[in-house]
Chains A and B, each alone.
Chain A
């Protein structure tokens, strides 16, 4: 077990180093100059001499390998540097945004499950009937509707028309409802389809027939015995979705004025704010690695076959 965890940690560190190197090189290849953002050249005209001074002060005149090496050494000392534009500590900046991203991630996952589990379950139980068709229609709608459009519709209905929920801002759980429902609904279709097909396959298995023959209640047969194998692909997909949500959803965050990592990263990319972009990449890389690891642990717990293959006891 320790060997397994150690190996995964080593893989994660290597992945983060490669990720940061690739991002660093790509950023430097892309057009744009952070010096103009540092000097706020869109507000105040600046001279070439000003730009040169700042370029030297930030070490942007040095060769690329030196710039990357200095940054890596800095990170090894747990220092992610300072934002070019606001002079804030990057780690502190990321930690300020992380709670909003994590809370939106968990609430969106909850909304996703609230949509996907009942709809997938009903579609499988009533396969080929109107409930199944309705479920598939809802899944199709979720897959087709862009998140910004759905978000605007929800704001229009629940905030503008009915005045039930706040359309922006934060500080209470109410503020989380609309962005979570938007993200959850848009992500749900894949889960609905996976759950439906997984349940249909599970319900046709011999052991299900045996369970029914023993007189076990149908809801128990469906919701427990058939559900367990159907959940395996769902758990794998949850890892992927969690990773995507950790990276932040720029569109939803912008729409609801939600201060997550996605909108921060977008602004940093626009301004070529390299320390913030690199910090963001490291943090989200770590988050995605962690989400995948959690997903693997979930699969281990759910599936005895995997435990057996990995030589772990049940």
Chain B
């Protein structure tokens, strides 16, 4: 019996030896692969982003623009101002007509020339294939004449140029799509950008190579590998192990370790997102302005920034970040339980024998709708408010739901809700104001209506002048803050890891432009 067992063990030992050999071979090959990718002369860069993409369809996904495959007529600069790109100039001919002059000397990666007719064909394809794009652009018809493209919109659309910075308005070669077929084209779209697609694995990676005929100067890098991974810990390890040169949305808890490595740097960029509370206009408790103001003073924005966001956020004083041209330049509401208590006393609340605030025998008890979304901090903010409110005798019950908008739309038994939106993704605040403060808007499930905002929004929708639009937006924010229909909490930052060998590159708040012709490696 023992002898037989020995032979069994021998077989197992052989198996183990084979496995070890496989592992050794694997390790050799893995190392070789890594060394190969790090050769400076190849000028290859690896980028890891958090959002996997099913397709590279430029009119339905952002990734073609992010990866430097396509470009738009206009683009945003660092200050979120709209600038020329594939269009050299534009003007409004009347309320419904916009004329754009397309840049001369630009060719698509298939060699076809970019002119107004090609741009028109691209927009026609976009409107057909994306209902979102059709709804946003409101194009009735287009006319192409040489390099001049004229759009006529179905209604007055003063924000039309800002819509044209959106990644899904990318210009593509429709001629290439006709040759390749839609399915193949959506895996390797042909645009005017500095890089063209070598290979694409849906949801996993894009392999890009330099387009030598790029109009704005050949890219300094020869290849770019764009990987997707939705797990923050894995992305962070890819950055720390130097498998990736640029990594988006790092895990904040790893920043201390990353800081110890001289080859790695982290950029914390204020995003265009805002976390805020929405008050229920139908709630008996929070329909009182004093109660809303009191809750606003109970939000400890400094602690949220320091403790929850680990310093990677800015306190909010309105829906738009203060450094934006239309942002509120004033300060934010400071945490003050004492002042909150005074406001509640003005609203008629007094502490009872149990230390709870009550009015006409009814205890002040609020229901807060919370959700987590993709931001891990979102459930923590209501908990902090709940704790601070309890200290002055206000009772807040938290209900976590998957879709707060759906809950808010279908229920009236809530007092405040957590909201989080990209408030100014295209360098203009008007679209957010319309969506969040006009009943029926997609960011307004509570159907909030502020009468004082109506004339401001009307004026905003009637003018295309950027200065006037910025001023009107600021006026609207002032009204929103005075009426306190929302309490704005923070603007979270985007954490981007950058290996020090990467040159001429920094992340933007809009997250539209990632791969560029200027980026380089040491």
Residues of A within 8 A of B (CB): 31-33, 36, 38-48, 50-51, 53-54, 57, 83, 85-89, 92-93, 96-97, 100, 114, 118, 121-122, 125-126, 152, 155-156, 159-160, 162-171, 174, 177, 217-219, 222, 254-259, 263-264, 267
Contact = CB atoms under 8 A, between A and B. Distances in A.
A93 B54 CA distance: 8
Nearest to A54: B131
Interface string B15-38: 100010001001101110110000
A221 B30 CA distance: 41
Given A167-B238, A217-B4, A39 B132 contact: yes
A171 B183 contact: no
Contacts of A218: 1, 3-5, 7-8
B39 to A, nearest CB: 16
Interface size class of B (residues with CB under 8 A): 35 or more
Nearest to A148: B231
B173 interface: no
Contacts of B431: 44-45
A30 to B, nearest CB: 9
Contacts of A83: 54
8 contacts: A42-B421, A46-B132, A47-B441, A53-B135, A88-B183, A152-B234, A219-B4, A259-B203
B425 interface: yes
A155 B231 CA distance: 12
A306 to B, nearest CB: 30
A36 B4 contact: no
Contacts of B166: 43-44
B436 A171 contact: no
Nearest to B167: A43
Contacts, number: 190
A222 B231 CA distance: 44
Interface string B168-201: 1000000000000001001000000000000001
B295 to A, nearest CB: 25
B311 interface: no
Contacts of A97: 202-203
B229 interface: yes
Contacts of A53: 131, 135
A174 B202 contact: no
B11 interface: yes
B215 to A, nearest CB: 28
B237 interface: yes
Interface in B89-106: none
B395 interface: no
Interface string B79-116: 00000000000000000000000000000000000000
A141 B33 CA distance: 33
Contact of B243 (A86, A118, A122, A167): A167
Contacts of B29: 174
Best-buried of B4, B166, B442 by chain A (most CB within 10 Å)? B442
A167 B5 CA distance: 39
Contacts of A47: 135, 434, 440-442
A46 to B, nearest CB: 5
B182 to A, nearest CB: 9
B208 to A, nearest CB: 14
B406 A174 contact: no
A26 B130 CA distance: 27
A156 B442 CA distance: 42
A46 B4 contact: no
